[in-house]
Amino acid sequence: MYAFFGHLYDIFQSQHNLNVRSICGLVVMPVVLLTLLHRRLPHDPIESILTSLLPRRISRLRTPRPNARRIGLGGPLKMAETPQTAPAVKPANPNFSSGPCSKRPGWTIDVLAGALTGRSHRAKPAKARIQEAIELTRTLLEVPADYRIGIVPASDTGAVEMFLWSALGARGVDMLAWESFGAGWVTDVQKQLKLDDVRVLEAPYGELPDLNQVDFNRDVVFTWNGTTSGVRVPNADWIPADREGLTICDATSAAFAQKLDFSKLDVVTFSWQKALGGEAAHGILILSPRAVERLESYKPDRPLPKIFRMTKGGKLIEGIFKAETINTVSMLCIEDAIDAMKWGVEIGGLQAMQARADANFKVLADWVEKTDWVAFLAKNADQRSNTSVCLSIVDPAITALDADAQAAFAKAVVARLDKLGVAYDFGSYKDAPAGLRIWAGSTVEADDLAKLTPWLDWAFAEEKAALKAAA
């Protein structure tokens, strides 16, 4: 403020050649008047003048800030309402989608320059590239040597469904579902495959079903990390090593970010578009020796399309797991996956990738801890995903709204930051409770998440003010 008035003094003195007394009259009198007014008026006129001079946009909502002090002359300094200003710095990378997820740090389209485009995927060098992707998967994910790894059609969904269609029905099955993707596999098994002996163990968004109820004499289908609720199984301790049934695990948003215990998993599926920041289109199907044994010993009485068929004459088609893919793959996608996995190896392998996701999650968790308008959808701390972090807006003014209005509010927060190029695609999944879903896998930088959180506070405050103004 002193600088402001000093500047005025210089201008007036140079341009109008005024003396000190007239300057005092011009400058001091209005200040005295404003000060007197300031004590009588409910709003702070000096603050209004100063804030209107600020270059950045000021919220209509005056959110109290812990260190805020009233801007005024005289009287005791009070904690008060300070306008919410937009943060100065945006995340360097605004991509926070939960699939396809952010590319790895440093990625450019140039990494695809060596892709074997325009060549047959059956050509020797193309098969070598596909095999390299398989071997990198084994190295990086620490997949046991006797497990098969195949690149299959139709992304993660293709990988899950080809096993469900090929192998379920040999014994009863327990289906675990606590969010929409798990629920999708239940629909497959009950309504499409129409299997007789199906038990469904469900939990609402934010929770896990009672894992103690699972019967491992049966086959078990579950999603390791529920991408749309941000709830994951904390470990594989609930799965016995000596089980009769097969465990079939959709690990698409867990692989490369959470510890998958392969000794407890017979079938693991994922797609590159999640924690690797790769491209969609192809799925990865990993089979334990027991899963292969099932495929070779059980022939379900139902038609299987060509892209689901993994056996011929009762034997596994080994070629599928040795770069001879069922149908044509994209060499661009293969190249991109190789690049992502090489990056994973370079930064220190699986542990380093998991550590990055954990550190990213911590940035968000620390912010949630000190922010009263937001809360985790996942109730239990040990079940919270370190990749798809799902958050609910719990401010009483918002929770008082009906469900549609709450959803519209969350969407407006997302849209506001999207429009400014601050953050993209971080709204909750269409079938999940309204809120935010922020990807925190290892391809995201912790620093970008740290830069995002003040923007979230700002966007929330702006939208809440807009809501109030519209009421």
Question: For binding to ligand PLP (CB under 6 A), which residues are involved?
Answer: 99, 155-157, 181, 223, 227, 250, 252-253, 271, 273, 280
Q: What are residue 267's DSSP bridge partners?
A: 248, 287
Q: What DSSP character marks residue 103?
A: P
Distance, in Å, from the CA atom of 150 to the CA atom of 381, rounded to the nearest integer, reads 34
Q: Nearer Cβ to ligand PLP, position 58 or 280?
A: 280
Q: Is the peptide bond before 100 cis (omega within 30 degrees of 0)?
A: yes
Q: In angstroms, what is the minimal distance from the CB of 99 to ligand PLP?
A: 4
Question: Tokens representing 323?
Answer: 């770069």
Residue ranges of E strands in 70-127: 79-81
Q: In angstroms, what is the minimal distance from the CB of 225 to ligand PLP?
A: 7
Q: Nearer Cβ to ligand PLP, position 44 or 156?
A: 156
Q: Nearer Cβ to ligand PLP, position 83 or 278?
A: 278
Residue ranges of E strands in 350-452: 374-376, 388-393, 436-439
Distances (CA, A) of 209 to 192, 196, 248: 23, 22, 16
Q: In angstroms, what is the minimal distance from the CB of 260 to ligand PLP?
A: 13
Q: In angstroms, what is the minimal distance from the CB of 273 to ligand PLP?
A: 6
Q: Nearer Cβ to ligand PLP, position 271 or 383?
A: 271
Q: Nearer Cβ to ligand PLP, position 40 or 430?
A: 430
Q: Which residue has the tokens 């953050």?
A: 423
Distance, in Å, from the CA atom of 142 to the CA atom of 137, rounded to the nearest integer, reads 8
* Residue 2 neighbours by CB distance under 10 Å: 6
Do residues 385 and 358 lie in contact, with contact meaning Cβ atoms separated by under 8 Å? no
Q: In angstroms, what is the minimal distance from the CB of 361 to ligand PLP?
A: 17
Q: In angstroms, what is the minimal distance from the CB of 186 to ligand PLP?
A: 13
Q: In angstroms, what is the minimal distance from the CB of 433 to ligand PLP?
A: 16
Pairing mode, strands 225-226 and 436-439:
unpaired
Among 108, 58, 104, which residue's Cα sits nearest to residue 448?
104
Q: Nearer Cβ to ligand PLP, position 157 or 428?
A: 157
Q: Nearer Cβ to ligand PLP, position 253 or 443?
A: 253
